[in-house]
Structure 1
Amino acid sequence: MYERILVPTDGSTGTAHVAMQAIDLAEQYGGTVSVFHVVDETASSLLEATGSRDQLEEQGRRAVERIERMAQVHGVDVETEIRTGDPATAILEYAEEIDADLIVAGTHGRSGVERRLIGSVAERLVRHADCPVMTVRLPESDETVTDAADARAIAEDALAESEYGDGEITGVERQVSVWVVDVDADGESLVAYIDPVTQRTSLVARH
């Protein structure tokens, strides 16, 4: 159903949530996530004189690479592309070029200037794209694992796929930049470290 899912990104805070929606769908349908960034030609021309165009391109590269790593963590096929132009126009053209089945785009859902700068792109996609468009409101954080229940569920999945098979979760703690989940698996003490953004999970035996 969704063989090719296009995710436009400008690197805004909260984009990880948009990416996870696309990655979840790609996992379900065996699809490919296409991550796309547009270096806004208007912003580029304004900054060219100050030598900041390279900075815009570097920001774009980091934005697509971040989602690329997230997709790889979840075992989803991913491809990336960076172009220069008008964001909405370039996204629509690229969606047609790759024959996208779905566009998953972020929106702030706000009013005033922010809506004109960010919301208008999503609005144009919804109006003019030939394929369905899913809009996801960007939260104030990039964290996709926000509570102990989520961390517990991810740890249980990682445990089920490991050599241990199953076990009992004995503790869940949120530390500065990681979730730490304690596990008792057949008498062996384990700990699962979960990245709160990418959901990358490392299951380690305590010694």
Structure 2
Amino acid sequence: MDSYDRILVATDGSPGSRPVQEHAILLAQLSDAVIHALYVVDQRFPSATEYDMVVERMETQATNALDAVSEAAKPHGISVTKHLRRGVPHEEIVAYADQYNIDIIVVGTHGRSQIQRFIHAGSVTERVVRTAEVPVFVTRIRPEDDPASTGSGTIRLPGVEL
């Protein structure tokens, strides 16, 4: 396995994003790396009348999501840098990885079928995988944590406890 010094975990704060955090923490433990937690407020859906309220709500959600990553990493002695960006999620994730010399990106997916992917015109995860210059670790979001997903559980490595 390559050694990673800087791991980027992109989070949306959903209940199912816990496995994404767990994998980032696991990689950080194995590599003695720091984690960069990133939440992107999606600004592709402006609503002239409610825009400020929507963005404010999303920024509150972002703060909670970033704090959750930090709190999950704390018992393991892993340093977490929290970042909030505004823009198109996949573009901001890739730009962040380039700007901060990230070694690997950890993201989650709901495990949609081919037809669902076509209907949704590609997910954020798929676009990150296609455009990132660094490796992208994709983990499925657990169905028991997020009813909208169809994925399986997380992978555990022997001797590494989370």
Q: Name the residue aligned to 2:140.
A: 137
Answering whether residue 27 of structure 2 is matched by residue 33 of structure 1, we say no
User: How many residues are matched?
Assistant: 147
Percent of aligned pairs sharing the same letter: 35
Q: Which runs of 5+ in 2 are unaligned?
A: 147-152
Asked if 2 retains the 8 angstrom alpha-carbon contact of 1:47 and 1:53, the reply is: no
Which of 120, 140, 148 lines up with 1:116 in the alignment?
Answer: 120
TM-score (norm 1): 0.64
Q: Name the residue aligned to 2:150.
A: none
Q: Which runs of 5+ in 1 are unaligned?
A: 158-198, 200-207
Return the letter of the residue paired with 2:47: L
How far apart, in 2, do the equivalents of 1:123 and 1:6 lie?
A: 16
TM-score (norm 2): 0.80
Q: Name the residue aligned to 1:49.
A: 50
Q: Name the residue aligned to 2:130.
A: 127
Q: Name the residue aligned to 1:79.
A: 81
1:25 to partner: Cα distance: 1.0
Asked if 1 retains the 8 angstrom alpha-carbon contact of 2:117 and 2:123, the reply is: no
Return the letter of the residue paired with 1:120: S
Return the letter of the residue paired with 2:55: R
1:140 to partner: Cα distance: 2.3
1 or 2 for the larger relative contact order (CA 8 Å, sep ≥6)? Answer: 2
How far apart, in 2, do the equivalents of 1:113 and 1:21 lie?
A: 24
How far apart, in 1, do the equivalents of 2:110 and 2:13 lie?
A: 13
1:130 to partner: Cα distance: 0.6
Return the letter of the residue paired with 2:133: D
The list of structure 1 runs, each at least 4 consecutive aligned residues, that deviate by more than 6 angstroms after superposition, is: none
- Match of 2:138, SS? strand
Return the letter of the residue paired with 1:92: V
Q: Name the residue aligned to 1:91.
A: 93
- Match of 1:105, SS? strand
Answering whether residue 106 of structure 2 is matched by residue 104 of structure 1, we say yes
1:141 to partner: Cα distance: 3.6
1:12-27 correspondence runs (5 A): 12-27=14-29
Asked if 1 retains the 8 angstrom alpha-carbon contact of 2:6 and 2:101, the reply is: yes
Asked if 2 retains the 8 angstrom alpha-carbon contact of 1:39 and 1:84, the reply is: yes
